[in-house]
Amino acid sequence: MALYKSDITKFIEELRERKPDLEYRQREGRSLLWDRPQDPEFAREAKEAKVPQTPYVYYQHVD
Protein backbone atom coordinates (compact mmCIF):
# COMPACT_ATOMS: atom_id res chain seq x y z
CA MET A 1 0.00 0.00 0.00
CA ALA A 2 1.44 3.36 -1.02
CA LEU A 3 1.43 6.16 1.50
CA TYR A 4 0.29 9.63 0.56
CA LYS A 5 3.04 12.16 -0.12
CA SER A 6 2.23 15.82 -0.40
CA ASP A 7 3.56 17.95 -3.25
CA ILE A 8 5.92 19.66 -0.83
CA THR A 9 7.35 16.33 0.36
CA LYS A 10 7.87 15.21 -3.22
CA PHE A 11 9.56 18.51 -4.06
CA ILE A 12 11.93 18.25 -1.07
CA GLU A 13 12.82 14.64 -1.93
CA GLU A 14 13.54 15.56 -5.56
CA LEU A 15 15.59 18.56 -4.46
CA ARG A 16 17.69 16.38 -2.13
CA GLU A 17 18.28 13.91 -4.96
CA ARG A 18 19.37 16.66 -7.36
CA LYS A 19 21.53 18.46 -4.78
CA PRO A 20 22.89 15.96 -2.25
CA ASP A 21 25.13 18.58 -0.60
CA LEU A 22 22.25 21.01 0.02
CA GLU A 23 21.94 20.38 3.76
CA TYR A 24 25.70 20.68 4.25
CA ARG A 25 25.70 24.00 2.40
CA GLN A 26 22.78 25.25 4.50
CA ARG A 27 24.64 24.42 7.72
CA GLU A 28 27.76 26.05 6.35
CA GLY A 29 25.80 29.21 5.54
CA ARG A 30 24.18 29.31 8.98
CA SER A 31 27.56 28.99 10.65
CA LEU A 32 28.65 32.21 8.94
CA LEU A 33 25.95 34.09 10.85
CA TRP A 34 25.34 32.20 14.09
CA ASP A 35 28.35 30.10 15.10
CA ARG A 36 30.57 32.89 16.32
CA PRO A 37 32.44 33.38 19.57
CA GLN A 38 30.42 35.36 22.09
CA ASP A 39 31.74 38.64 23.46
CA PRO A 40 31.47 38.50 27.29
CA GLU A 41 31.38 42.30 27.58
CA PHE A 42 28.45 42.56 25.15
CA ALA A 43 26.60 39.75 26.96
CA ARG A 44 27.09 41.53 30.31
CA GLU A 45 25.81 44.84 28.90
CA ALA A 46 22.78 43.15 27.35
CA LYS A 47 21.96 41.42 30.63
CA GLU A 48 22.23 44.71 32.56
CA ALA A 49 20.04 46.54 30.02
CA LYS A 50 17.25 43.95 30.11
CA VAL A 51 13.92 45.33 31.33
CA PRO A 52 11.74 42.89 33.28
CA GLN A 53 8.50 42.03 31.52
CA THR A 54 5.19 42.11 33.38
CA PRO A 55 3.06 38.96 33.36
CA TYR A 56 0.22 40.67 31.49
CA VAL A 57 1.95 42.64 28.75
CA TYR A 58 -1.26 43.77 27.06
CA TYR A 59 -2.70 45.45 30.15
CA GLN A 60 -1.39 48.75 31.39
CA HIS A 61 -0.83 49.17 35.09
CA VAL A 62 -3.25 51.80 36.35
CA ASP A 63 -2.66 53.38 39.77
Query: What pLDDT does 61 receive?
Result: 65
Q: What is the rounded distance in angstroms from the CA atom of residue 10 to the CA atom of residue 16?
A: 10
pLDDT in tens, 5-63: 999 999 999 999 999 999 999 999 888 888 788 899 999 999 999 988 877 777 776 65
Query: What's the pTM value of the predicted model, to 2 decimals?
Result: 0.48
Query: What pLDDT does 62 receive?
Result: 62
> What does residue 39 show for φ and ψ, rounded to 5 degrees?
-90, 115
Query: What pLDDT does 44 receive?
Result: 94
Query: What pLDDT does 53 receive?
Result: 80
Cα 23 to its chain centre, rounded Å, is 15
Query: What pLDDT does 49 receive?
Result: 95
